Amino acid sequence: MYLTDNGDVYFADHINFSIRCLSPSGSVFTVISTDPLRPLGICQSVDGGLLVTMRDIESDLYKLESHSRRLVRHITVPGDVIHEYEYQEDCQTRLFTLPFIVTQNSNSDICVVNFKSLNTSELVLMSPSGRMKSVYRGQNLTENFKPADVVCDSLCNILVTDLYNKQIHLLSLRGKFLKFLLTDNELNHPVRLSLYKSTLWVGYGEGLVKVFELRS
């Protein structure tokens, strides 16, 4: 889900195949139907539209078949499709196994947490035209790399949770590893991130939220 400046909360309703909105008054309404694809993740695009990760429901989660659909769709709020990101530039090689979380950097690059299996995932970095720029698969790992969320700061750096290794990785705008921002001394199974200016909220699988003030 994501929160707009006027207090509306847009969220992916994967059970009902739709993008819905919770208004500040408490009313909930459907904005866009995604049927027959199931929406998973959502963010606001830099042009004011939406980026939504989607999958078909006919094929296995991690076993792709010829008819499988795994994509990021760029749409307007009324629901018009601007672009679909499903294949690489050769129009044959798939970009994703199971695209889960998506965010767009302020330089317009699109960051997607792509689940490869139940226990592994990666971060795919694409240009707004759909060209794959890099794939990040972790650094100094002792357990499987399992990023579960991604956010970007005002300098276009990329922050990625590492669920099993209990770390937050700081990447450059090109997706190159810079350093571990937080390690297992401060973290325990980080699942969700939210960043506003220099304040970072980290949600844990155990139901705890910690708030950090980032230093430059």
Count Cα atoms within 13 angstroms, Cβ side, for 99. 32
Given this model, what pLDDT does residue 185 score?
67
Q: Which residues pair with 59 in a beta bridge?
A: none
Going by the DSSP 8-state scheme, the letter that residue 95 receives in this structure is S
Given this model, what pLDDT does residue 78 score?
85
**Could you report the per-residue pLDDT of 76-120, keeping only the tens digit for each?**
988 899 999 999 999 999 999 999 999 999 999 999 999 999 999
Quote the tokens at residue 77: 């709020």
Q: Structural domains in the chain?
A: 1-137 (2.120.10.30), 146-216 (2.40.10.500)
**Measured between alpha carbons, how far is residue 42 from residues 1, 64, 70, 110, 152 in Å?**
6, 22, 14, 12, 15
Average pLDDT, stretch 185-206? 87
**Could you report the per-residue pLDDT of 49-86, keeping only the tens digit for each?**
999 999 999 999 999 999 999 999 999 988 899 999 99
Please indicate whether residue 76 or residue 5 has the higher confidence score (pLDDT): 76
Q: How confident is the model at residue 41 (pLDDT cuts 50, 70, 90)?
A: very high
Given this model, what pLDDT does residue 215 score?
80
Global pTM reads 0.93
Given this model, what pLDDT does residue 144 score?
95
Sort 187 into a burial class: Cβ within 10 Å, 0-12 / 13-18 / 19+: buried
**Could you report the per-residue pLDDT of 120-135, keeping only the tens digit for each?**
999 999 999 999 999 9
